[in-house]
Structure 1
């Protein structure tokens, strides 16, 4: 989704106000001329400081920080952004300023105010040398850039972090995986695959896998699956090109599906609940998608009527296998989600897809001629 970034700035202005005249014509000009005989007087006022938020004008930095912390804890992110932003802008020497900058960025981020969040985080961020909040802020700036579709900029900052020997392996792996995702989003799948494979090699080489959060290797395997899914999507089935070409494309498409499935299954085996659910949903969706391609493709034009009927019968058998596999994957995904208490858009989508595929399988069975033999048992992929 495209964003129309609008950056809000907080201004402090000292204004000197004076009375000034303007050039006029006609009778007004004559009045001005007669008035010129009178000695001019210049009226000056004291300088006025215009603040961004008059309601907070009387609060000191301690009060602002306490109020912002309370508002954030209550999920009142708009209020939290006001308090933390006021502290950061008007109390440059406060001991709370760095924390206020970071928390203001978090508040804007929760509100999906990406430009404002980036403005706050960028003052702290140091991807090349930063530690603590400076390193955390560098990750946050990259996240902001991702949401604003500045993928190459995000990938560059994350690559800087990933190359640092002074950063713990968990954070380096996090940076490398997210760098690969940004490269994929920027339209560089080959570069993304190289980066993700490096991240997985780093993970595989660890003697103690507990050094890293399982979220990141699971995420890396998931997006390796996504790479192959994109290749799968790019293979179009065209019966008009003839039986041989259709068979070749169908076999290639099935190989890509199995390659994607392999990476999704590895993501599941890592054991992270979120990515396990997401990967299961994607496997089921790919089987469902292949079914739709096959069932909606007309018979090749070179087949006569009897050959076309045999083609459709064989196709029905393959379609039934795909539907059954999809149901098995969806059911296992939902079982996993229920076991770990996972709730996400992937879980909701899986429930909807399961109901849809079961209805398709039932409709296929009802349309089956009474003389047709039952299909062979379906072998299920191991999870």
Structure 2
């Protein structure tokens, strides 16, 4: 309940400054020149603390209440109890843990600024261990969520450069660094960071020391870099057939490069990123289809040439749709096999349905075109 907590703080500050009552005194002139009657209004003195309901609890009771609320997934209550302990019991043996847990509770509520404040008090990116190290990673996460990407990059560079971290923690910092660099618009640096992370992972003698989440995530985001390049290549038939062919080939190369990294992510075997990668592959084929089917013919084509162009285009479109369907179906099969259920799975099901409809519509359009009788010959006027 971060908003309520902030309001109580401001009221408490007012009380500490001596605003315990309010008095209006003096006289104001009336229109007839006479003095208005003097009124005095008295209020009872009030003392306000951060949370009246929790004021009577000691640090042990607050810690127990916060722990119980967190276990019950009542994160608003957990944030209240842990926050009260951290703010009003600075010498408690539970304070550091309460700070961290308060940050976690705010994080679960997506109250990123409040989470950031709690974690920041604990975090030590340069030398920290235990909760100080964990809090540093959490600070970077909250900065990412608040789109403070440059701040997150600076912190993660410190973490990624620490030689004393175990391989799993260092790889996590390297991958998150690459993602934040990508979000800040530095694609080349992001790709270098992600490839460095993957190189370090491949060099490990015992890869079981590292959760498969992070190498899979690294491959996925290298794929994302190439997907972004792919999406920026516009197919513009009005530039002419030669330029169109060149752009189409380049776009296809970028699609295959992105697909290769997504497939590497799938092969790592992490369910979440495997599903996400399959979804992105299918989406790229789908966007390629949309661009091709909605583009006009190159301007230098005329008459029968336009018809031939459309026939060849339909063949390529059918290939793209078929590939997209195959990828989507394989992605869903893999997700069902490992019991994965997330937003990517739902998106994949919807995309599969849509692409199948497009393929049927394309087949119907081709049938109609073949059934349509050719136009009658134009008769020459008699001389």
TM-score (norm 2): 0.88
Deviation at 1:362, TM superposition (A): 1.1
Rounded to whole Å, the distance in 1 between the matches of 2:7 and 2:185 is: 33
| Cα distance between partner residues in 1 of 2:5 and 2:243 | 53
Equivalent of residue 133 in structure 1, options 127, 131, 134: 131
Q: Count matched residues.
A: 356
Q: What SS does the aligned partner of 1:368 have?
A: helix
Aligned to 2:319: 321
Return closer, same or farther for 1:98/1:192 CA change in 2, 3 Å cut-off.
Answer: same
Q: By how many angstroms is 1:166 displaced?
A: 1.1
TM-superposition CA deviations, 1:14-73 (whole Å, max 9, x none)? 3445887755455559989xxxxxxxxxxxx99x75211101111111111111111111
Aligned partner of 1:51 in structure 2 is 49
Partner of 2:375: none
Match of 1:266 in 2: 264
**1:353 paired to 2:351:** yes
Q: What is the correspondence of 1:92-103 to structure 2 with a 5 Å cutoff?
A: 92-103=90-101
Contact 2:26 2:38 in 1 (8 A): no
Contact 1:7 1:116 in 2 (8 A): no
Question: Does the CA contact (< 8 Å) of 2:69 and 2:77 recur in 1?
Answer: yes
Q: Which runs of 5+ in 2 are unaligned?
A: 371-383
8 A contact 1:101–1:120 mirrored in 2 = yes
Change (3 A) 1:22 1:358: same
Q: Secondary structure at the match of 1:268?
A: helix
Unaligned runs of 5+ in 1: 33-44, 373-383
CA contact (8 A) 2:266 2:278 kept: yes
The DSSP-based 3-state class of the residue aligned with 1:123 is helix
1:249 maps to which of 242, 247, 250 = 247
Measured against aligned partners, the alpha-carbon deviations of 1:233-285 in whole angstroms (never above 9, x if no partner) come to 11000000000000000000000000000000000001100000000000000
The equivalent residue for 2:117 is 119
Task: Using the TM superposition, give the Cα deviation of residue 206 of structure 1 relative to its aligned residue in structure 2, in angstroms.
Answer: 0.8
Give the alignment of 1:368-379 within 5 angstroms: 368-369=366-367
- Counterpart of 1:375 in structure 2 is none
SS in 1 for 2:311: helix
Q: Secondary structure at the match of 1:8?
A: helix
CA contact (8 A) 2:5 2:50 kept: no
1:169: how far off? 1.1
Matched residues in 1 for 2:369 and 2:248: separation? 28
Matched, 1:223 2:221: yes
Does the C-alpha gap of structure 1 residues 280 and 175 become closer, same or farther in structure 2, counting only changes over 3 Å?
same
Per-residue deviation, 1:204:
1.0
- Counterpart of 1:379 in structure 2 is none
Instruction: Look up the match of 1:196.
Output: 194
Q: Tell me the C-alpha RMSD between the 2 structures.
A: 2.3
Superposition map of 1:156-175 within 5 A: 156-175=154-173
Q: Which residue of 2 aligns with 1:364?
A: 362
Distance in 2 separating the partners of 1:72 and 1:177: 29
State how far apart, in whole Å, the 2-side matches of 1:140 and 1:21 are: 50
Change (3 A) 1:19 1:141: closer
Call closer, same or farther: CA 1:311–1:30 in 2, change over 3 Å: closer
Report the Cα distance in structure 1 between the residues aligned to 2:8 and 2:164, rounded to whole angstroms: 36
